[in-house]
Homo-oligomer: A and B are copies of this chain.
């Protein structure tokens, strides 16, 4: 039982601002509570003795002990009302009233005050600007929406109150039930992370679903959701996926939009199933709340209709599932049981004259097959097939074998009663085979989420102090950017860099070149000159005897190109044998919600033109770093495709982890790019570096 238990299961609810004025929100809430709530409802309003026949109190202190206060007073009175409740010992508060940060200046100040009061009394506070909360645990509808929820095991949070009213009206018609429903409002105190926590501890919640427009504390949410999703599936629609949508969401909630890629990575790392539409949200929720997870990905399809059978097979092909390959025994048993014209290979086509008995037999044999993890029953209406009986048969067989079965009993009116029977047993029926398979797909995805283990980020032995000193140098820069002159930062974190030094004098350059075996590479070092090659700022294969001239030439070119550029010097570096190695990029930028977002890809066209990159929220463990490498389309190139020697992928994976540690240790690093990180059979070398430092954070 979580900390928010009482919020959803109060014995007494006060409506502060209760009124009997027609059309008032304070009346709507009171009416909704009176209708179904099993507990006690207490109107609070200093100007009334009685509201809707209930005794009205002038303040919460003078009322009987209250577990939850729902506040609907006008904005200027909200803070006092919260304080009044808190002083009376109330721990749970829902602020319905709008007119806070969503309205700008004055409202924002009021919201800060609200947050302070909540912190002072350690309140569980929902809102402000919330439609309210519902819980079918005791029939509580503490919202001003027009409909109460039906009972069920899905707990639902939404950053849009209108979305709740729209969904409930529809869900009631579809007979989809809920456990708790929360309109998050401005999320001033309690937010998505708190409710994920709470419902993770609630035995009555089988699935958590949500509509979110933003997640304020990305990393905290990832950590909470990761833990909860081991036992309880979480399905979210996070809107603002597209550029247009993000702009609209930002205008709706006033939140600064984090990047879609950060959400994509963060939600995946959190084990959240991310739905892209309302339909998908509920299709998945229905499957996840009623069915066991499949032990394997093999799907059996049983049908009386060839065409719909093929459509279902296509949908399986589109999904992460496979068509199960039946054992010889299954084929044999089916051949005996089915008519000659039937197809006993998967999809099983029991043909048009199949009755319930034949369907049941085929399903029974298929579910008994060890290669079958789940099944779809697909039927077209025929004169010999009774849908109600078929529904019963499907329920029995699916329970007997304890494998998830979804149905696609196609048709209109005639499917109604069968659908209701199936629903009562947790089996969703869909008209479209693609949606039926999508339900199973969600189950299999969730199975993998629940079985997932996460490597703890490795704590490498690094020289943190040296790194800090190097970052401090950014203070001296006007634009807070560091470049190749900060390569030692990587060295401090154990990332291999070529031998060499940055010097500001041709004689020193010569000395460094002499200390290095063979020819050297020389590069101009200037924060203003980012594309060195373009201005001839790089010289490759310089012999010791040419170092003087090369130095002067590099400096001259840089002055020529950009007279006001700060020239920090020239880098003299050992020349690497890059034959047979591959250029990669490892980068990071800091997302406003999720924090450091790591990026990996191959260099050049792969990142710039093909956009073939992978991202993760840092810190990452070894497995996540390895996934980043495997995930890019061009990964086979690193693994030795087309006759190349495989690169040392382990070294790449370790570099990603070390960078993860660096950017986690130093919140002052806003952006960082190691480009290229050259990966060859013998290991990796970071060749160039750019980073931006927030000197305030140092």
- Please tell me if A541 contacts chain B, counting CB pairs below 8 Å: no
How far apart are the CA atoms of A253 and B343 in the complex, in Å? 12
- Please tell me if A309 contacts chain B, counting CB pairs below 8 Å: yes
- In the complex, the answer to whether B310 meets A277 with C-beta atoms within 8 Å is no
Q: Collect the chain B residues with CB atoms within 8 Å of residue A610's CB.
A: 610, 612, 633-634
Contact segment of A48-56, A89-97, A428-436, A517-525: A428-436
Distance in angstroms from A586 CB to nearest chain B CB is 20
- Please tell me if A453 contacts chain B, counting CB pairs below 8 Å: no
**With known contacts A166-B381, A307-B163, A431-B279, A242–B637 Cβ distance under 8 A:** no
- Please tell me if A23 contacts chain B, counting CB pairs below 8 Å: yes
How far apart are the CA atoms of A343 and B239 in the complex, in Å? 18
- In the complex, the answer to whether A252 meets B309 with C-beta atoms within 8 Å is yes
Contact segment of A171-179, A328-336, A554-562: A171-179
Distance in angstroms from A390 CB to nearest chain B CB is 14
Mark interface residues in A296-312 (1 if CB within 8 Å of B CB, else 0): 00000000111111110
Distance in angstroms from A126 CB to nearest chain B CB is 17
Q: Collect the chain B residues with CB atoms within 8 Å of residue A169's CB.
A: 381, 410-414
Which of A240, A244, A316 is the most central at the interface, judged by chain B CB atoms within 10 Å of its CB?
A244
- In the complex, the answer to whether A162 meets B239 with C-beta atoms within 8 Å is no
**With known contacts A278-B434, A343-B251, A432-B278, A170–B410 Cβ distance under 8 A:** yes
How far apart are the CA atoms of A166 and B380 in the complex, in Å? 5
How far apart are the CA atoms of A313 and B314 in the complex, in Å? 29
Identical copies of this chain, number:
2
Would you list which residues of chain A between 630 and 648 have a CB under 8 Å from chain B? 633-634, 636-637, 641-643
How far apart are the CA atoms of A498 and B163 in the complex, in Å? 66
- In the complex, the answer to whether A380 meets B414 with C-beta atoms within 8 Å is no
Would you list which residues of chain A between 143 and 176 have a CB under 8 Å from chain B? 146, 158-163, 165-167, 169-174
How far apart are the CA atoms of A366 and B168 in the complex, in Å? 30
22 A-B residue pairings within 8 Å (CB atoms): A23-B383, A160-B310, A166-B411, A167-B410, A169-B411, A170-B412, A170-B431, A171-B412, A173-B413, A211-B307, A242-B313, A244-B317, A244-B322, A245-B310, A245-B314, A245-B317, A249-B310, A276-B314, A277-B311, A279-B432, A279-B434, A609-B634
Other A-B contacts than A159-B307, A163-B311, A248-B309, 5 sampled, CB-CB below 8 A, are A172-B413, A248-B347, A278-B434, A605-B641, A609-B636
Name the 3 nearest CB pairs between A and B, nearest first: A160-B307, A242-B317, A173-B412
